[in-house]
Amino acid sequence: MADLDPDFRQSIPDGDDRVRRICTHCDFVDYVNPKIVVGSVARWEDKFLICKRAIEPRLGYWTLPAGFMEEGETVEQGAAREAREEACADLEIERILAIYSIPRISQVQIMFEATLRSQDVRPGPESTDVKLVTWDEIPWDDLAFPSVHWALKQWKSVEGQAAYAPFGNPAGSEHLTHG
């Protein structure tokens, strides 16, 4: 389709203070900022919604409904959309549970508490299975990502509290988030 291969040089644009990727062909500046992942700890009564990943990375492992925020939506709408896409789930987004910064992969993950409006869930295209499980049934050894652990454990630590300050990265997690 295209007549050239992409060809970026590393250079500081006029008026900027750091190196960016700039296209040698057309001077397009590829400003790279952290991307936002929006997701939720979503409950139906005493059960949690988990999804078995149909895609890499971590294909076959269990995760919370979450994914990249798109343009034209709010963070709450993005979190609800991801649960719809991954688990055909209808969520009521309630409040912010945590914000994780993962510089290693240039992500900021915004996790919400949510409730399901119906227990009717089924796999979307990015999941091979979805389940509603009690706390004791969570497959701790087969969770896809550290932040899935963090969100569930942090949710448990404030269970039933009327108000709490949202969480950030857990202490001691720097080896997972940086470098």
Query: What pairs with residue 44 in β-bridges?
Result: 47
Structure tokens at 164: 């709490």
Q: Does 164 bind its own copies (CB under 8 A)?
A: yes
Residue 31 vs 141, nearer CB to its own copies: 31
Which of 12, 59, 60, 74 contacts its own copies by CB under 8 A?
74
Residue of 43, 44, 47, 96 that binds its own copies (CB under 8 A): 96
Q: Quick one: which of 94, 108, 99, 97 has its CA closest to 34?
A: 108
Name the minimum Å distance from CB 95 to its own copies: 4
Count of H-run helices and E-run strands, the chain: 3, 10
- DSSP codes of every residue in 125-166: TTEEEEEEEEGGG--GGGBS-HHHHHHHHHHHHTTT-S--PP
The site string for its own copies over 8-47 (x = CB under 8 A, - otherwise) reads: ----------x----xxxxxx-x-xxxxx-----------
Contact 129, 122 (CB under 8 A): no
Residue in the block written with tokens 């900027």: 16
Q: Rank residues 133 and 173 by Cβ distance to its own copies and give the closer one.
A: 173
Site string for its own copies, 137-156 (x = CB under 8 A): --------------------
Q: Give the footprint of its own copies on this chain (CB under 8 A).
A: 1-7, 18, 23-28, 30, 32-36, 68-77, 95-96, 99, 101, 103, 106, 108, 110, 161, 163-166, 168-169, 177
